[in-house]
Amino acid sequence: MTPATPPSVAAPRVDVILPCLDEAAALPWVLERIPTGWRAVVVDNGSRDGSADLARELGATVVTEPRRGFGAACHAGLLAATAELVCFLDCDGSLDPAELPRVTGPVLAGHADLVLGRRRPTSAGAWPVHARLANAVLARRLRHRTGARLHDLGPMRAAHRERLLALGLGDRRSGYPLEMVLTAAAAGMRITETPVSYRPRAGRSKVTGTVRGTLRAVHDMSGVLAAPPPVLLVIAKAPVPGRVKTRLTPPCTPRQAADLAEAALTDTLRTLATVPAACRLLVLDGEPGDWLPPGWQVVPQTGGGLDERLAAAFTEAARLRPGAPALLVGMDTPQLTAATLAEPLAAARRSGADAWYGPATDGGFWALGLARPTGELARRLLLGVPMSTPHTGAALLERLASAGLSVRHLPSLTDVDTFADARLVADGAPDSRFAACLRSLDPAPGRTR
């Protein structure tokens, strides 16, 4: 009797993002060498040589990105991807797609969150001297800034799609690859590199093929390097029964209200832990507990009203990281996503913004950010603003306008104050800890069996 053949292990589904501008000469070879079962996503960035039609004929998924720029093409591919794991790769034939499993391996094994291919030239003409020197300088600055042991900013890389989307990448030019690494490091992602072969490309590079193109890329990347990551602050009360979410009682018991508060706070802290930041401060009234995730520095709230405590929080942020933007949120929006904050705070998106304002549906605000916070500015903006009223947000906006600040508005969110709010927020974020906690109430307050 012939022994049964063991079932084969299916290859992981991966989307390979290929930014493309006039690469018809290289596309057949590149697409032919994409690993079996993986999907090629070719992002056409204005090709005139028929690259898009050729890619379709060869079975690739083709996305059109009319905005010119390497970052624009890469990000369009990231948004179009649907696989849990994504790779980036130039489609000029300089990198061999057959080597992609080298960069996906550490991510799939759980050893790294972002892996870059460290290019090893296969011939003298594969990597122009001016481009190689520029890459070495930027890599050295990157090591100093992030501590990641990287020697190359190579375009072959792999990561989980959702982690990259949470970074809120904003550069749409040549700074995109560097921004990805910088923000990934600031978001606590584990970054490593692995050697890959680097061949002479087909045709002439639009970036490294000329000294002018290389200088433009260095300029874009230097701008990304110069922007300090923000300070993130969460102002909260320790989830102690009888001290938090008292407007939930009734129908909740004080213990149930505290459990919901703890879940909301945990969701908020864990979400902000994935937002790129220079540091993360929990401005806390009370004592931290087991709910506090790693990576947060606890700062006790000062005395006085909420306006004074908010001003003091910004003063502390300015003291710890002079010159860095600071953004503060409360503990009442567990539906908050990382990209909601990361995108407007991205280095390329900050230009012209003096402040960020997140309106709450009850007339208050759930977030306030300052591009250049100082203690004096924070006190001028916040002291005397009536808190916890339907007019709080309008009063704060009036202060921001009077100070001559250019304000970027964030999406409107619902604070969890009442039980009706809790239901609404949980319905909008069904996978959150907050929603799970609300479902666990037996029977849920305010509901009948």
| Whether residue 400 is found in the same domain as residue 426 | yes
Banded pLDDT at 210 (limits 50, 70, 90): low
Residues 423 and 334 in one domain: yes
Last residue of a domain, one of 164, 197, 226: 226
pLDDT at 422: 96
**How many other C-beta atoms lie within 10 A of the C-beta of residue 9?**
6
One domain, residues 278 and 188 = no
State the average pLDDT for the chain: 90
Looking at residue 109, its pLDDT comes to 96
Rounded to whole angstroms, the Cα distance separating 324 from 149 reads 25
| Whether 81 and 101 share a structural domain | yes
In tens, the pLDDT along 47-69 reads 999 999 999 999 999 999 999 99
297-355 pLDDT, tens digit each: 999 999 999 999 999 999 999 999 999 999 999 999 999 999 999 999 998 888 899 99
Could you tell me if residue 215 is inside a domain? yes
Q: What is the pLDDT of residue 103?
A: 97
Q: How confident is the model at residue 143 (pLDDT cuts 50, 70, 90)?
A: confident
The total domain count for the chain is 2
Distance CA 76, CA 41 (A): 10
297 - beta bridge partners? Answer: 281
pLDDT at 423 over 90: yes
Q: What is the pLDDT at residue 189?
A: 95
**449: in domain:** no
Domain span including residue 71: 14-226
Q: Is residue 311 part of a domain?
A: yes
pLDDT recorded at residue 42: 98
Evaluate whether 281 touches 317 at the Cβ level (below 8 Å): yes
| Position 132 pLDDT exceeds 90 | no
294 and 433 both lie in a single domain: yes
Is residue 211 over pLDDT 80? no
Rounded-to-integer distance, Cα 427 and Cα 414, Å: 12
Question: Do 186 and 43 fall into the same domain?
Answer: yes
Q: How confident is the model at residue 212 (pLDDT cuts 50, 70, 90)?
A: low
- Residue 173: pLDDT over 70: yes
Q: What is the mean pLDDT of residues 147-163?
A: 92
The last residue of a domain, from among 173, 208, 226: 226
* Helix, strand or coil, per DSSP, at residue 106: helix
Run of H or E residues at 184: helix 176-186
Given a cut of 70, whether residue 5 has pLDDT beyond it is no
pLDDT, tens only, 389-409 = 999 999 999 999 999 999 999
Q: What CATH code is carried by the domain that includes residue 353?
A: 3.90.550.10
- 411-440 mean pLDDT: 96
pLDDT at 345: 94
The predicted structure's pLDDT at residue 446:
54
From the list 421, 434, 445, 413, the residue with the least C-alpha distance to 261 is 434
In this prediction, residue 226 has a pLDDT band, given cuts at 50, 70 and 90, of confident
Distance in angstroms (rounded) separating the CA atoms of residues 428 and 444: 17
Do 33 and 51 lie in one domain? The reply is yes
In a domain, 7, yes or no: no
CA atoms of 74 and 56, how far apart (whole Å): 18
Statement to judge: residues 288 and 421 lie in one domain: yes
The pLDDT of residue 4 is: 38
Same domain, 19 and 138: yes
Residue 446, domain member (yes or no): no
The answer to whether position 5 is within a domain reads no
pLDDT at 214 over 50: yes
Stated as kind and residue range, the H or E segment containing 86 is: strand 85-88
- Cβ neighbours around 83 below 10 Å, total: 16
Percent pLDDT > 90 in the chain is 78
Could you give the CA distance from residue 59 to residue 42 in angstroms, rounded to a whole number?
A: 10
- Grade residue 8 by pLDDT with cuts at 50, 70 and 90: very low
**Contact criterion met (CB below 8 Å) for 276 and 325:** no
- Looking at the structure, tell me whether residues 41 and 168 fall in a common domain: yes
Choosing from 226, 257, 286, the residue where a domain stops is 226
Q: Give all strands (DSSP E) within 316-396, no chain letters.
A: 326-329, 355-359, 365-370
Residues 277 and 219 in one domain: no
Q: Is residue 54 one of the residues assigned to a domain? A: yes
Assess whether pLDDT exceeds 70 at residue 16: yes
Q: Is residue 198 part of a domain?
A: yes
- DSSP code per residue over 24-80: TTTHHHHHHTSPTTPEEEEEESS-SSSHHHHHHHTT-EEEE--S-SHHHHHHHHHHH
> What torsion do the CA atoms of 57, 62, 65, 69 make, to the nearest 10 degrees?
-80
What pLDDT is recorded for position 222?
66
Q: Assess whether 162 and 208 both reside in one domain.
A: yes
Dihedral of the alpha carbons of 411, 412, 413, 417, in degrees to the nearest 10 = 150
Q: pLDDT tens across 260-292, in order?
A: 999 999 999 999 999 999 999 999 999 999 999
Q: Is the pLDDT of residue 129 over 80?
A: no
Q: What is the C-alpha separation between 286 and 244, in angstroms, rounded?
A: 11
Task: Tell whether the model's pLDDT for residue 98 goes beyond 90.
Answer: yes
Q: What is the pLDDT of residue 447?
A: 52
